Amino acid sequence: MAYKNKLIVIVLAVALGTCEEREGLGFEDFWVQPASGDITAAYITIKNPGQTSDTLLDVHCDVAGVTSIHETRHEQGMMRMRPLETLPIPARSQVIMQPGGFHIMLEGLDHPLQVGEVVNLRLRFEKMGEITLPITVEDRRGHEH
Ligand SMILES: [Cu+2]
Protein backbone atom coordinates (compact mmCIF):
# COMPACT_ATOMS: atom_id res chain seq x y z
CA MET A 1 0.00 0.00 0.00
CA ALA A 2 2.78 2.44 0.94
CA TYR A 3 4.56 1.59 -2.28
CA LYS A 4 1.44 2.35 -4.30
CA ASN A 5 1.04 5.80 -2.65
CA LYS A 6 4.62 6.69 -3.51
CA LEU A 7 3.97 5.93 -7.15
CA ILE A 8 0.95 8.21 -7.21
CA VAL A 9 2.97 11.07 -5.70
CA ILE A 10 5.63 10.69 -8.38
CA VAL A 11 3.06 10.70 -11.19
CA LEU A 12 1.46 13.87 -9.77
CA ALA A 13 4.81 15.63 -9.53
CA VAL A 14 5.57 14.89 -13.17
CA ALA A 15 2.14 16.15 -14.25
CA LEU A 16 2.57 19.42 -12.33
CA GLY A 17 6.03 19.94 -13.78
CA THR A 18 4.71 19.59 -17.31
CA CYS A 19 1.86 21.95 -16.52
CA GLU A 20 4.17 24.70 -15.28
CA GLU A 21 6.27 24.48 -18.37
CA ARG A 22 3.20 24.61 -20.58
CA GLU A 23 1.93 27.86 -19.15
CA GLY A 24 5.14 29.71 -18.38
CA LEU A 25 7.59 31.74 -20.38
CA GLY A 26 11.35 31.34 -20.22
CA PHE A 27 13.86 34.19 -20.37
CA GLU A 28 17.38 33.74 -21.65
CA ASP A 29 20.38 35.61 -22.91
CA PHE A 30 19.44 39.07 -21.66
CA TRP A 31 21.82 42.02 -21.75
CA VAL A 32 21.93 45.80 -22.08
CA GLN A 33 24.29 47.66 -24.36
CA PRO A 34 26.61 50.14 -22.56
CA ALA A 35 25.68 53.81 -23.01
CA SER A 36 27.84 56.91 -22.84
CA GLY A 37 24.81 59.13 -23.54
CA ASP A 38 21.23 58.83 -22.37
CA ILE A 39 19.96 56.21 -24.82
CA THR A 40 20.56 52.47 -25.26
CA ALA A 41 18.83 49.15 -25.89
CA ALA A 42 18.18 45.92 -23.99
CA TYR A 43 17.82 42.46 -25.51
CA ILE A 44 16.07 39.33 -24.23
CA THR A 45 15.20 35.96 -25.71
CA ILE A 46 11.67 35.02 -24.64
CA LYS A 47 10.77 31.34 -24.93
CA ASN A 48 7.23 30.07 -24.98
CA PRO A 49 7.29 26.26 -24.92
CA GLY A 50 3.57 26.05 -24.11
CA GLN A 51 0.38 25.64 -26.07
CA THR A 52 -0.89 29.17 -25.36
CA SER A 53 0.32 32.38 -26.91
CA ASP A 54 1.09 35.39 -24.75
CA THR A 55 1.76 39.05 -25.46
CA LEU A 56 4.30 41.47 -24.03
CA LEU A 57 2.19 44.51 -23.18
CA ASP A 58 4.45 46.88 -21.30
CA VAL A 59 8.10 47.40 -20.33
CA HIS A 60 9.71 49.56 -17.67
CA CYS A 61 13.35 50.09 -16.72
CA ASP A 62 14.33 51.66 -13.40
CA VAL A 63 17.09 53.90 -14.88
CA ALA A 64 15.23 55.12 -18.01
CA GLY A 65 12.71 57.93 -18.39
CA VAL A 66 11.00 56.16 -21.28
CA THR A 67 11.11 52.40 -21.97
CA SER A 68 9.47 51.00 -25.09
CA ILE A 69 9.34 47.95 -27.34
CA HIS A 70 11.06 48.66 -30.68
CA GLU A 71 11.66 46.94 -33.95
CA THR A 72 14.45 47.72 -36.42
CA ARG A 73 13.66 47.07 -40.07
CA HIS A 74 15.38 47.52 -43.38
CA GLU A 75 13.27 49.92 -45.42
CA GLN A 76 14.48 51.05 -48.84
CA GLY A 77 18.09 50.38 -47.88
CA MET A 78 17.77 52.23 -44.56
CA MET A 79 17.71 50.82 -41.04
CA ARG A 80 14.64 52.27 -39.33
CA MET A 81 13.36 51.79 -35.80
CA ARG A 82 9.73 51.94 -34.90
CA PRO A 83 7.92 51.52 -31.60
CA LEU A 84 5.57 48.53 -31.22
CA GLU A 85 2.41 48.71 -29.13
CA THR A 86 2.83 45.08 -28.07
CA LEU A 87 5.00 42.09 -28.93
CA PRO A 88 3.22 38.76 -29.53
CA ILE A 89 4.93 35.65 -28.13
CA PRO A 90 3.35 32.78 -30.12
CA ALA A 91 2.87 29.32 -28.63
CA ARG A 92 5.72 26.81 -29.09
CA SER A 93 8.17 29.43 -30.27
CA GLN A 94 10.73 31.93 -29.14
CA VAL A 95 11.16 35.63 -29.81
CA ILE A 96 14.81 36.63 -30.05
CA MET A 97 15.67 40.27 -29.50
CA GLN A 98 18.96 41.33 -31.05
CA PRO A 99 20.68 44.34 -32.63
CA GLY A 100 19.00 44.95 -36.00
CA GLY A 101 15.71 43.37 -34.84
CA PHE A 102 13.40 43.53 -31.85
CA HIS A 103 14.78 45.37 -28.83
CA ILE A 104 13.74 47.29 -25.76
CA MET A 105 14.61 50.94 -26.16
CA LEU A 106 15.80 52.80 -23.09
CA GLU A 107 15.63 56.59 -23.44
CA GLY A 108 16.31 59.36 -20.97
CA LEU A 109 18.79 57.32 -18.90
CA ASP A 110 19.48 58.97 -15.57
CA HIS A 111 23.21 58.13 -15.88
CA PRO A 112 25.60 56.51 -18.41
CA LEU A 113 25.63 52.69 -18.23
CA GLN A 114 28.97 50.98 -17.60
CA VAL A 115 29.84 47.36 -18.34
CA GLY A 116 29.00 45.17 -15.34
CA GLU A 117 26.22 47.39 -14.01
CA VAL A 118 22.86 45.73 -13.42
CA VAL A 119 19.53 47.41 -14.18
CA ASN A 120 16.04 46.12 -13.48
CA LEU A 121 13.69 45.60 -16.37
CA ARG A 122 10.03 44.93 -15.62
CA LEU A 123 7.99 43.16 -18.25
CA ARG A 124 4.22 42.83 -18.18
CA PHE A 125 2.55 40.05 -20.15
CA GLU A 126 -1.12 39.62 -20.91
CA LYS A 127 -1.34 36.12 -19.40
CA MET A 128 1.79 35.55 -17.33
CA GLY A 129 1.60 38.90 -15.56
CA GLU A 130 4.69 40.78 -14.43
CA ILE A 131 8.29 39.71 -14.09
CA THR A 132 11.35 41.79 -13.20
CA LEU A 133 14.67 40.72 -14.70
CA PRO A 134 18.03 42.03 -13.45
CA ILE A 135 19.92 42.74 -16.66
CA THR A 136 23.68 43.18 -16.84
CA VAL A 137 25.33 45.78 -19.05
CA GLU A 138 27.59 43.92 -21.51
CA ASP A 139 29.68 45.08 -24.43
CA ARG A 140 28.73 42.76 -27.32
CA ARG A 141 29.36 45.18 -30.17
CA GLY A 142 31.66 42.67 -31.82
CA HIS A 143 28.68 40.35 -32.31
CA GLU A 144 26.25 42.73 -33.95
CA HIS A 145 26.51 41.39 -37.49
CU1 LIG B 1 15.01 51.44 -30.81
Q: Which CATH number is 77's domain given? A: 2.60.40.1890
Distance in Å, CA 22 to ligand 1 centroid: 31
Distance in Å, CA 132 to ligand 1 centroid: 20
Tally of domains in the chain? 1
Q: What is the mean pLDDT of residues 126-145?
A: 84
Distance in Å, CA 42 to ligand 1 centroid: 9
- Which one is predicted more confidently, 132 or 141? 132
Distance in Å, CA 54 to ligand 1 centroid: 22
Distance in Å, CA 24 to ligand 1 centroid: 27
Distance in Å, CA 51 to ligand 1 centroid: 30
Q: What is the pLDDT of residues 115-128, one digit of tens each?
A: 999 999 999 999 99
Q: What is the mean pLDDT of residues 61-82?
A: 94
* 62 inside domain: yes
* 18 inside domain: no
pLDDT of residue 3: 53
Distance in Å, CA 25 to ligand 1 centroid: 23
Quickly state the pLDDT bin for 6 (edges 50, 70, 90): low
pLDDT of residue 137: 97
* Least confident among 25-34, 78-87, 134-143: 134-143
pLDDT of residue 75: 87
* 98 inside domain: yes
- Strand 118-125 with 102-109, pairing: unpaired
Rounded percentage of the chain residues whose pLDDT exceeds 70: 81
* 60 inside domain: yes
Indicate if the pLDDT at residue 7 is higher than 70.
no
Q: What is the mean pLDDT of residues 70-97?
A: 94
* 101 inside domain: yes
Distance in Å, CA 109 to ligand 1 centroid: 14
Whole-number Å distance between alpha carbons of 8 and 95:
37
| Residues whose CB falls within 8 Å of the CB of residue 77, separated by 6 or more in sequence, listed in order | none
CA distance to 39, 86, 90, 102, 105, per residue, from 83 (Å): 15, 9, 19, 10, 9
Domain with 133, as residue range(s), is 25-140
Does the pTM exceed 0.75? yes
Indicate if the pLDDT at residue 2 is higher than 70.
no
